[in-house]
């Protein structure tokens, strides 16, 4: 017997697909409602077996405060980069830094790498395995526009970004 879960594997995703379809078409005509519902039902039904199971967010409040903190850091980092770029370029100290990670979940590592890349002045260059035997990625390679203290940067990334992500996931 087929259950509702088999017919609507991801109802929230279906709802978003339906709403995006209506927004893109900018119409509530019957044909757009019909095709929006059809695609919102059919696309998740066809692709749900290909999706990777993502970990759930354990603390949504912590995720929200993390997002606000990252937005604030982006604004502050933009101002710092403006000051650096408009100043003398000889004072810039670009460098690569390897940050050892405690995170093991691929989604959390991806969010950490994206967070660092979104913050101006730093870019995630690579996620490296701890050893050459194909182990899970455990090192994050960063490129920094102006590096004053490598240990302080590593501590900042681990405390400001990695620790909250460990709590969220």
pLDDT for res 7: 77
When divided into structural domains, the chain yields a total of 2
Tell me, yes or no, whether 70 and 130 share the same domain: yes
Is 48 or 16 the better-scoring residue by pLDDT? Answer: 16
State the DSSP H helix or E strand holding residue 119, giving kind and residue range, or none if neither. none
List, in order, residues 6 or more apart from 139 with CB less than 8 Å away.
98, 99, 100, 101, 127, 128, 129, 130
pLDDT at residue 71 is higher than 90: yes
Q: What share of the chain has pLDDT > 70, as a percent?
A: 92
Q: Is residue 113 in a domain?
A: yes
Rounded Cα–Cα distance for residues 28 and 34 (Å): 10
CA dist 106 and 55 (Å) reads 10
Q: Are residues 27 and 66 located together in one domain of the fold?
A: no
- Report the chain's terminal Cα–Cα distance, integer Å: 35
Look at residue 5 in the predicted model and tell me its pLDDT.
67
27 falls within a domain: yes
Does one domain contain both 103 and 134? Answer: yes
pTM of the complete model: 0.73
Instruction: Give the distance, in angstroms, between the CA of residue 127 and the centroid of all CA atoms in the same chain.
Output: 14
Which DSSP letter does residue 139 get? E
Position 42 in a domain: yes
- pLDDT per residue over 121-140, tens digit each? 999 999 887 665 656 668 99
In a domain, 53, yes or no: no
């Amino acid at each position: 017997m087929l259950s509702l879960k088999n017919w609507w594997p991801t109802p929230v995703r279906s709802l978003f697909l339906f709403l995006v379809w209506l927004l893109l078409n900018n119409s509530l005509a019957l044909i757009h409602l019909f095709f929006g519902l059809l695609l919102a039902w059919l696309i998740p039904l066809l692709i749900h077996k290909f999706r990777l199971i993502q970990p759930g967010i354990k603390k949504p409040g912590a995720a929200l405060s993390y997002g606000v903190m990252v937005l604030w850091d982006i604004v502050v980092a933009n101002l710092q980069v403006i000051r650096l770029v408009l100043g003398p370029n000889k004072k810039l100290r670009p460098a690569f830094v390897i940050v050892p990670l405690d995170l093991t979940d691929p989604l959390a590592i991806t969010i950490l790498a994206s967070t660092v890349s979104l913050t101006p002045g730093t870019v995630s260059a690579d996620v490296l395995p701890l050893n050459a035997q194909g182990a899970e990625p455990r090192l994050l390679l960063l490129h920094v526009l102006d590096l004053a203290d490598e240990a302080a940067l590593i501590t900042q990334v681990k405390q400001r970004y990695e620790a909250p992500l460990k709590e969220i996931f």
